[in-house]
């Protein structure tokens, strides 16, 4: 079975998709003001992809090792209730979330960009990384985006998951409907 087909099969089973922040939902750069406030730039394409997953009935979570108020605000803006910041052991956090949601590891996925994400990614049914993630990631993931972190990589993964579940076309239909009016 080819790798793309295997990734599609894995993605077709997802009920939960979790994302890292730095290097996935952002480009990995860390900006600090003179007052020590951390600032991050998020991509609107990625945000809409996360919303489409939720609208399609797939739970979305953010599990990240760092803690920043702007991540809390972004999660709130996107309606993501499963936000876990300052997490030292992402695998333990994911296992607790799976238990809470009664979801098996095969029905969950994670998108990360660096080797610290591998333990959680290798324990789940689906895993994805960014085009600019650490080179070792490609050997251990189901799917590698063609886009970089913070530049539409998460959206590419969201679209891939929706396509694998035959939910992408219905999700896009509202935007492709003939215009009404005059």
Q: Is residue 182 part of a domain?
A: no
What is the model's pLDDT at position 2? 52
Q: Is residue 178 part of a domain?
A: no
What is the model's pLDDT at position 181? 66
What is the model's pLDDT at position 174? 86
Give residues with Cβ within 8 angstroms of 180, minimum separation 6: none
Query: What sign results for the dihedral spanned by CA atoms 131, 133, 135, 136?
Result: negative
Positions in the chain short of pLDDT 70: 1-5, 181-182
Give residues with Cβ within 8 angstroms of 17, minimum separation 6: 53, 58, 59, 60, 61, 108, 109, 110, 111, 126, 157, 158, 161
Q: How many domains does the chain have?
A: 1
What is the model's pLDDT at position 177? 84
What is the model's pLDDT at position 179? 81
CA–CA separation, 38 and 132 (whole Å) = 22
Q: Is residue 173 part of a domain?
A: no
Q: Is residue 174 part of a domain?
A: no
* Domain range enclosing 100: 3-168
Q: Is residue 175 part of a domain?
A: no
Instruction: Characterize the bridge pairing of strands 108-111 and 16-19.
Output: parallel
Q: Is residue 60 part of a domain?
A: yes
Name the β-bridge partners of 143.
Answer: 128
Q: Is residue 177 part of a domain?
A: no
> pTM here?
0.94
Domain holding 95: CATH number? 3.40.50.1000
Instruction: Characterize the bridge pairing of strands 82-84 and 108-111.
Output: unpaired
pLDDT tens-place string over residues 68-77: 999 999 999 9
What is the model's pLDDT at position 1? 45
Q: Is residue 121 part of a domain?
A: yes
């Amino acid at each position: 079975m080819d790798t793309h087909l295997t990734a599609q099969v894995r993605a077709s089973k997802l009920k939960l998709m979790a994302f890292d922040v730095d290097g996935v939902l952002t480009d990995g750069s860390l900006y600090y003001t003179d007052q020590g406030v951390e600032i991050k730039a998020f991509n609107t394409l990625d945000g809409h992809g996360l919303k489409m997953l939720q609208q399609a009935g797939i739970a979305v979570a953010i599990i990240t090792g760092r803690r920043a108020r702007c991540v809390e605000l972004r999660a709130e803006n996107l309606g993501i209730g499963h936000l876990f910041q300052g997490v030292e052991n992402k695998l333990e956090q994911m296992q607790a979330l799976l238990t809470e949601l009664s979801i098996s590891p095969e029905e969950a996925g994670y998108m990360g960009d660096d080797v610290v994400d591998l333990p959680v990614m290798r324990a789940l049914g689906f895993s994805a990384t960014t085009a600019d993630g650490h080179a070792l990631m490609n050997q251990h993931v189901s799917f590698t985006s063609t886009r970089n972190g913070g530049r539409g990589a998460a959206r590419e993964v969201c679209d891939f998951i929706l396509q694998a579940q035959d939910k992408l076309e219905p999700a896009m239909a509202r935007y492709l409907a003939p215009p009404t009016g005059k």
